[in-house]
Amino acid sequence: MNILIKASTFGADLFWLTQFLDKQPGVTIKVLLSDPDRFEAEGISKLFPLKAELIKKTLMSYWFKPGSFKPDVTIMDNKIPLKAASPNGFMLWHGFGWKGPNDVEEFHWLHRSLKSAWGSAMEPNSNFMWQCFGDWDFEHRTKISGFHPENCRVLGAASHDLLRKPLSKEELQPYVPFDIVNRKTVLIAPTWHYGEVFSHWGKDSKLFEKLFQKIEDQNANVILRLHDSYRFESYYVDFLEELSERHPNVLLKFKDRDPDNLLDMMVSDILITNFSSIANLFYATGRPTLHVYPVRSDDEEFQWKKSTVIGLRTKKLDSVKYIWKLPPQENGGLLAMNFSELLQQLDKAFDDPDCCKEKSKMFLDKYMLGADGKNCERIWEAIQELVNNEK
């Protein structure tokens, strides 16, 4: 089987599935991504080398047919090509998060693109399949997002197969630039939709200083992982770069400069996030996750940033309730409603590394097939079902 992977982001799920598919007999894989050289320089590429060929995306990638390679299926993580390069399309969505609403209106362009490439996904379609993270996600995709149930499969998150039993810190140490064996590591991974991370609690310039000092007092590392640098105002990028330079225990990463997030999750002992979908991948480690509630009040007006086909757009919303598809109270860790509470929870996470273990397990059991270690197998079976037209 020939598999083409079109990666908007070669993130944890897509990378780990590629690792799994790489090992299947008779499978040839080519991966289209923005900067192959940059990804191959990442620690995860050295830790888990791929046989798959990594190819730089260009405008011609929309009609990707290099040489004699004829893909049987195209696997995507969110963006649809203008023209199908294979008879079948498979969507491995880039994250099961809380943000939404992911309804038919929001997915209008996605449905339109799918229809152009492989035919409508709103009716039974033997050439297209959508991966769901669990039964709740299946219900949401079929009743809210508009996908026909026959086109959806409950398969789980591919990276859970690794994250449920991460490698030891000693095994991971050669692939990271700081001490992870003798020092704990805090991963701070906010979503970009709200702009500044702590603006609803005060000034980021002051609160990040306090947070970093708190972590420094614990003799711990910080990985500050943000989305693409171009999604933020230039002054904010400059501020974060200057801040990280003043704190030697802080490693600043932007997704477009440091594309891998899987190794970051493997080496980290604590996650802090304002409901980025990285959280429900990290849950599989059983380590503490601290959730920053991203606005002061449900009923407060706020600015919501969104990526569109014509660039970034900021929209004024009357209430945060509009953007939740899953309530933030449904989570696998601790929920901080103010900065003092966040610092208290951080102390708890350092003192009791198992403080979220049971709650994260409950979330995974309810929403994500319990991270049972069989997700890649399920996804591979679904891909074979699609390609062999056994739907």
Q: In CATH, what number is assigned to the domain containing residue 114? A: 3.40.50.11820
Per the prediction, the chain carries an average pLDDT of: 92
Q: At what angle do helices 204-217 and 339-351 cross, to 10 degrees?
A: 20
| Residues 77 and 192 reside in one and the same domain | no
**Domain co-membership, 207 together with 120:** no
Give the β-pairing of 311-317 and 302-308: antiparallel
- pLDDT at position 67: 64
User: Cβ(175)–Cβ(263) under 8 Å?
Assistant: yes
From CA 108, how far away is CA 210, in angstroms rounded?
42
Which pLDDT does position 318 carry in this prediction? 56
Q: Which two tokens stand for residue 303?
A: 């600015």
Tokens of 207: 């609160």
Together in a domain, 69 and 178: no
Backbone angles phi, psi at 274, to 5 degrees: -100, 50
pLDDT for the residue numbered 245: 95
Q: In this structure, are 155 and 189 located in the same domain?
A: no
**134 and 204 share a domain?**
no
Predicted confidence (pLDDT) per residue in 82-92, tens digit: 889 999 999 99
**CA 286, CA 361: separation in Å to the nearest integer?**
7
pLDDT tens-digit map of 310-353: 555 666 655 555 578 999 999 999 999 999 999 999 999 999 99
DSSP E strand stretches across 258-355 = 270-273, 289-292, 302-308, 311-317, 334-336
Mean pLDDT lowest among 122-131, 223-232, 294-303:
294-303
90 and 128, same domain (yes or no): yes
Q: Both 248 and 283 in a single domain?
A: yes
Q: What pLDDT score does 231 carry?
A: 82
Identify whether residues 118 and 233 lie together within a single domain.
no
Rg (CA), the chain: 20
Residues 217 and 319 in one domain: yes
Confidence of residue 51 (pLDDT cuts 50, 70, 90): very high
The reply to whether 208 and 319 lie within a common domain is yes
Predicted pLDDT of residue 322? 59
The DSSP output letter for 320 is: G
Where is mean pLDDT largest: 14-23, 53-62, 316-325? 14-23
Whole-angstrom Cα distance, residue 237 to residue 253?
Answer: 11
Distant-in-sequence, close-in-space partners of 230: CB < 8 Å, separation ≥ 6: 256
Question: Could you list the residue range(s) of the whole structural domain that residue 301 is in?
Answer: 167-370
Per-residue pLDDT reduced to its tens digit, 247-263: 999 999 999 999 999 99
- CATH number for the domain that contains residue 243: 3.40.50.12580
Q: How far apart are CA 163 and CA 264, in angstroms?
A: 11
The pLDDT assigned to 338 comes to 96
Helix boundaries (H) for the chain: 12-22, 36-40, 43-47, 108-118, 135-143, 160-163, 169-172, 204-217, 234-246, 262-267, 279-282, 339-351, 357-367, 375-387
Residue 61, pLDDT > 80, answer no
Give pLDDT, residue 83.
87
Q: How far apart are the first and last CA of the chain?
A: 17
Residues 312 and 239 in one domain: yes
Give every CB contact of residue 217 below 8 A, 6+ residues apart in sequence.
none
Can you give the pLDDT at residue 100? 86
CA distances from 238 to 7, 205, 242, 314, 362 (A): 28, 12, 6, 21, 40
Q: Is the pLDDT of residue 65 over 90?
A: no
Confidence of residue 306 (pLDDT cuts 50, 70, 90): low
State the Cα–Cα distance between residues 326 and 279, nearest whole angstrom: 13
Domain count, the chain: 2
Q: Which of 168-172, 196-200, 210-214, 261-265 has the lowest mean pLDDT?
A: 196-200
What is the pTM for the complete model shown?
Answer: 0.93
pLDDT for 45 equals 97
Same domain flag for 79 and 172: no
